[in-house]
Amino acid sequence: MKISTIALLEELKSKTGQHLQYAETLLLKPENELNSRMSSDSWSVLECLEHFNRYGDFYIPEISYRISSSTTPPKPDFKPGILGNYFAENMLPKEKLNKMRTLKAMNPIHSQLNKDVVDEFIKQQQQLLDLLEKARTVNLEKTKTAVSISKLITLKLGDTFRFVIYHNARHIAQAERILRNDRVWIPEKQ
């Protein structure tokens, strides 16, 4: 499967813009609503965003460094890698989400959080939009990034963007369900 590089970057910018707009609406909600959870072992909306922020603390500097140090010119098409495509596709929100474990360091359950978490998420989404624009100048296949679970595994930059942004989409869907108090959501495994 090949994807137009420009089309991919535009799709990812659009999704990131939607995530940014959603986060801005959260600033209008009371903190107690953003901290409520459907059960004692599920995340609150702020914990969903804190989870993003923890991943963003790794991926945003990693992506920025790889783009700034890349010397490979862009290609018109992007072909996802096998592992990168698998990771990205598994992050997309689905009607019935499969349960996934999260790393202990990335699990914010029972954290004391306030709206600063939303502000940080907004800042990170703005940084992602900037990085997606800068990515137009590099080869999304030849430019590789480390992943948060192991520095030994690398993904194509295009797959890393897809993974991060689809992961955000997954947990935005979770946050929406929490605010609707939709009991269908199955919390992340501890």
Q: What is the pLDDT of residues 20-34, one digit of tens each?
A: 999 999 999 999 899
User: What Rg value do the Cα atoms of the chain yield, rounded?
Assistant: 16
Does residue 187 surpass a pLDDT of 60? no
What percent of the chain is modeled with pLDDT above 90?
A: 60
What pLDDT is recorded for position 186? 42
Amino acid identity, position 67: I
Does residue 98 surpass a pLDDT of 90? no
What pLDDT is recorded for position 97? 52
Q: What is the pLDDT of residues 99-142, one digit of tens each?
A: 556 545 555 565 778 999 999 999 999 999 999 999 999 999 99
pLDDT class for 183, splitting at 50, 70, 90? very low
What pLDDT is recorded for position 3? 93
User: What is the C-alpha to C-alpha distance for residues 66 and 173, in angstroms, rounded to an integer?
Assistant: 29
User: What is the C-alpha to C-alpha distance for residues 113 and 41, in angstroms, rounded to an integer?
Assistant: 16
Chain-wide mean pLDDT for the chain?
86
- The backbone region for 181, taken as left when phi is positive above 0, alpha when psi lies in -120 to 50, beta otherwise, is left
What pLDDT is recorded for position 81? 95
90: Cβ contacts below 8 Å, ≥ 6 apart: 98, 100
Does residue 43 surpass a pLDDT of 90? no
Is residue 188 within 8 A of residue 101, CB to CB? The reply is: yes
Residue range 161-180: average pLDDT?
91
User: What is the C-alpha to C-alpha distance for residues 134 and 128, in angstroms, rounded to an integer?
Assistant: 10
Q: Provide the whole-model pTM.
A: 0.86
What pLDDT is recorded for position 106? 54
| Secondary structure percentages of the chain, helix, strand, coil, to 5 | 60, 10, 35
